[in-house]
Structure 1
């Protein structure tokens, strides 16, 4: 790690400047990205979920270091829901203080936005400087998540060895501890618990060293060399809470999260969907006309094999989900007027041998051709524009977190 000094203002002492701030990544990021896509593909109504109190129930406390467990469990669960992006809307219930205060100001006719507003009264309409309020501005939630961190077990197993000959020798030691969390998701209207989940995770640490304590001539030398490390406890708790959140959301959405959870691994290249909590309009779902030009410019430039619409497949699968089939409906309609470029894509966590990748690409292309045929687009109207050679080991990256596997031209 490189440290540099920087003087932030004239006359001040230089301060050490370390690494820059970054997104807080966890080993669950690939699973969260996968699960978000599965929720979107299921085409269910968007879930509105709130987070209640997710507390530390362990009671472990140190006089010198304070609480051993994070007190921000609710914030971690909220961030996990935010990583799911579009399919889930996060409703604020943990700290609604500001919203409640502003509603109070509105009721007392104290809140304004700098504009005049027309309100009706006994003598007719009049302009007033305060915001009128007729109720119903707070969106209801469907479910909320509550629970806590319930176990912290120190040193459930340890071991080591130390060898010294003439007060000189090495040592090694390992130790393990564990935590457990218990969460539940509750139907907001009925207050019935829809699902509970209890997870535990172990943390292992190590210590190695070399020590010498002896006289060399008339001089006494006492030298200790070594290193120790442990998986970050709070990062492990965040990871466990993220997995629990996925399981709870999957239970109420009717989407099995286990397949995505199985792919969790540390991959800094994974890109999560952008976090957004507000409603986002979808002009296509409201009957807007989609042209071939709009579809051909839908992707970002420089994506490896050209622009066009990306048809995303889940890792290891050739099945077309609901969102992919809806996209092919638009492609088939637009291709009747002009050719549309379609890219067969998958998440970049899918790493296969070239032969297996080639065979899976054949299955995916066949699924697309069959789906288009059902929509009136015959094989004569589908042209293969590009695909990697069977011996090509290159990962052809597309948009962030994706790879391109083939390119088709539909129509024309």
Structure 2
């Protein structure tokens, strides 16, 4: 009995096919290594574990360290640099992938300044919201540190003991310069090329392509708003694609095999490197330090980059001076700017301030102690009270007039609950119903009505 060999097995025995399959398997296995996995807790599915977190290295690391050393070597007081908005102005957007260019250009500029590791000082101006809130709390006497503070009294003596932190002003350091600009170009496929060759339905192909981005930055004198220096930089990216295709019969079996690889220099990494070089050039302009001697440290195209962060490559210590060049004060003297501000308000002359929060028609819990004091004083004689609100309230005249009515009613009701008859509350001043101007009273406040209680 003669057994006919299986056609598929016979095809596998073909030397040409064995060579193609071996090459395909080797290529596929090379790119398909099994990632490590770990079960974090009983009952959970294993989690894939990739590489560890590392410093975000760019080709600019040696140049940044070299330039920072040159700035520090001058021994001058470090300039203080802030960062404004560095936007994506390319307008390139894909509905599936979102913006083609990072929206965090300003954050990259901040990080670039940080890589100079103290050779320049960095002032926060991009997102000062938390600091502004803290100053607002201090202005309203809501900010404390768990201790009591003694305010300055008359003739320099000790005054009132308060649980809130006095604020003397001047705690925010000024900046000397600020950087603004944007990512202004994204040019797709500015050059491409390649080729494909096939023999007996076996083909190989390869191609390269390139694109570029452009950034435009400027550094501005904070005091004069004069532009000190502008720069425009471009960075080109290169990508590649290779592939192998087999589409042919081996005996009676048709095989269609495709595999390949492609890669491209990361676009956002290139944007970061361009912004870093821009920062070096701009800071060099305001510090009068030439960055050109550091340029040979940049790796050439295709060369390996330095994997040590710039801060670890520094060789020159930064000057040991304060931002202002003056000794840091260890104490404060004088009258706190929030001593006559808002919550728990102290008398302004013979008038007591009673604050309302933004848009509020009811008194807050922190002001009820002050209402108690006013009610007690009104039983002994007349008390003048100025109702105040935040000066950021800017209503139309009609709405403000209605809001004043509600606030006066709320204060009158609070006094009535403390034994002061509503008839004893008299409005002696309030803005005219058609008056839309703001009547300021102290930092961040405006007067909305003056009342006389008792008398």
Normalising by the residue count of structure 1, what TM-score does the alignment of the two structures yield? 0.65
Aligned to 2:63: 31
- Structure 1 position 9 matched with structure 2 position 48: no
> Which of residues 109, 113, 116 is equivalent to 2:148?
116
Aligned to 1:59: 91
- Residue 190 of structure 2: SS of its match in structure 1? strand
Taking the aligned partners of 1:193 and 1:286, their CA distance within structure 2 comes to 27
Aligned to 1:189: 223
Shift of 1:166: 2.1
Aligned pairs for 1:7-406 within 5 A = 7-121=39-153, 124-265=158-299, 266-269=305-308, 271-273=310-312, 281=320
Any idea what the Cα deviations from partners look like across 1:273-305, whole Å, max 9, x if unmatched? 599xxx99569x999xxxxxxxxxxxxxxxxxx
Any idea what the Cα deviations from partners look like across 1:216-266, whole Å, max 9, x if unmatched? 122211111211111110000000000000000000000011221331231
Are 1:243 and 1:261, in contact at CA under 8 Å, matched by a contact in 2?
no
Structure 2 portions without partners, runs of 5+: 1-32, 300-304, 328-455
Aligned length: 283
Taking the aligned partners of 2:248 and 2:238, their CA distance within structure 1 comes to 33
Aligned CA RMSD, in angstroms, stands at 2.3
Structure 1 residues 211 and 156, CA gap change in structure 2 (3 angstroms): same
Are 1:39 and 1:87, in contact at CA under 8 Å, matched by a contact in 2?
yes
Any idea what the Cα deviations from partners look like across 1:89-119, whole Å, max 9, x if unmatched? 1000010000000000000000011111111
Shift of 1:211: 0.7
Taking the aligned partners of 2:209 and 2:244, their CA distance within structure 1 comes to 18
Taking the aligned partners of 2:217 and 2:160, their CA distance within structure 1 comes to 52
Aligned to 1:299: none
Taking the aligned partners of 1:34 and 1:81, their CA distance within structure 2 comes to 14
Shift of 1:193: 0.3
Any idea what the Cα deviations from partners look like across 1:295-339, whole Å, max 9, x if unmatched? xxxxxxxxxxxxxxxxxxxxxxxxxxxxxxxxxxxxxxxxxxxxx
Any idea what the Cα deviations from partners look like across 1:337-378, whole Å, max 9, x if unmatched? xxxxxxxxxxxxxxxxxxxxxxxxxxxxxxxxxxxxxxxxxx
Are 2:82 and 2:124, in contact at CA under 8 Å, matched by a contact in 1?
yes
Are 2:61 and 2:308, in contact at CA under 8 Å, matched by a contact in 1?
no
- Residue 199 of structure 2: SS of its match in structure 1? coil
- Residue 251 of structure 1: SS of its match in structure 2? helix
Taking the aligned partners of 1:46 and 1:217, their CA distance within structure 2 comes to 78
Aligned to 2:8: none
Any idea what the Cα deviations from partners look like across 1:138-174, whole Å, max 9, x if unmatched? 0000000000000000001111100112221210111
Taking the aligned partners of 1:54 and 1:253, their CA distance within structure 2 comes to 22
Structure 1 residues 134 and 286, CA gap change in structure 2 (3 angstroms): closer
Structure 1 residues 33 and 280, CA gap change in structure 2 (3 angstroms): closer
Normalising by the residue count of structure 2, what TM-score does the alignment of the two structures yield? 0.59
- The higher radius of gyration belongs to 2
Taking the aligned partners of 1:189 and 1:282, their CA distance within structure 2 comes to 22
Taking the aligned partners of 2:321 and 2:216, their CA distance within structure 1 comes to 37
Taking the aligned partners of 2:211 and 2:244, their CA distance within structure 1 comes to 25
Taking the aligned partners of 1:121 and 1:101, their CA distance within structure 2 comes to 28
